[in-house]
Structures are given as structure tokens and as C-alpha cells.
Amino acid sequence: MKLLLQCDGGSRSNPGPAAYGYIIQDITQGAGKILEKCGNYLGHTTNNQAEYAGLINGIDWVLKHYPRADLQIKMDSLLIVNQIKGQFKVKHPDIIPRYRQAKALLTQLPSFSISYVPRAENFLADSLVNQVLDAQL
């Protein structure tokens, strides 16, 4: 089975009120049936912490429901994508534990890929973040 995880996180004023969102689709046979949509409020935090929360929670959902799936991850955070790929160092002390948690979860999957997409191509996850933030403010 092949799954697509589109995830996002954001904060209004950085740091500020923050949320994450993710969409998981079954892309085994093309277009992709939505298996899960989730958006959650995080409280006061940074944009990068929210981005990692979306990634971690999305991977965690996949592992709980489809642990043998091949996972394709798409995010609109070039920083997070490049950190996961090992192309950028993780320097911020608040991000290091989140990075380690994401990497540990990814090792439990049979295979995964992660790629950057423009925000317009990550619209579903981005809209979940904004819906959650709009409801809080």
C-alpha cells in the first residue's frame, strides 16, 4: 500500500498561536482516497515547531493504522524537508527533540520519501491549519 501524507504547521506571529494539520491519502491506485484529516491547536509556539508537529502526528497515525505502508510525504517547509533529508543541520535546541522524534518514527516504516512542495500544492493541509487557528482567535 502507498500512502501520501501532506502536512503543515503554522503560527500567527512567530511565535504565536499555532496549529498543525495533515491529510493522509491512499495513492496505491492513483488519485487517492482520503483516509484521515486532522487539525489541532498547539497553543503558543513557533512555526517550525508546528511544522514538526504536523509531520510527527501524521507519521504516527500512519504507523498506528498502516504500519507496512510505503509513505510519500509532501510539505511546504523547505527547512523541515532538508533537515529530515540530512541536507540542513538542526541547530535550534527546541527543534532537536522534534527532529529526533520524527526520524525515529520514520525508521519504523518500510520506506518513505519526503519532498518540498509549494504552499499551493499543500492547500488541504494548509487550510486545516488555518481553520483551526481561525476557530481559536
φ/ψ of residue 125, rounded to 5: -70, -40
Q: What is the pLDDT of residues 91-110, one digit of tens each?
A: 999 999 999 999 999 999 99
φ/ψ of residue 44, rounded to 5: -90, 115
pLDDT of 113 > 90? The answer is yes
How much is the pTM?
A: 0.96
The CATH-assigned architecture of domain 2-136 is: 2-Layer Sandwich (3.30)
23-30 contacts, C-beta under 8 A, 24 or more apart = 23/124, 23/125, 23/128, 24/58, 24/61, 24/62, 26/1, 26/2, 27/2, 27/3, 27/72, 28/1, 28/2
pLDDT of 10 > 80? The answer is yes
Listing DSSP states for 51-120 in one string gives HHHHHHHHHHHHHHH-TT-EEEEEES-HHHHHHHTTSS----TTTHHHHHHHHHHHTTSSEEEEEE--GG
Q: What is the pLDDT of residues 18-42, one digit of tens each?
A: 999 999 999 998 777 999 999 999 9
Percentage of the chain modeled with pLDDT above 70:
99
pLDDT of 74 > 80? The answer is yes
Q: What is the mean pLDDT of the chain?
A: 96
CA distance 137 to 130: 11
Each domain of the chain, given as residue ranges in start order, spans 2-136
Cα distance between the two ends of the chain: 39
Which of the four pLDDT bands, split at 50, 70 and 90, describes residue 57? very high
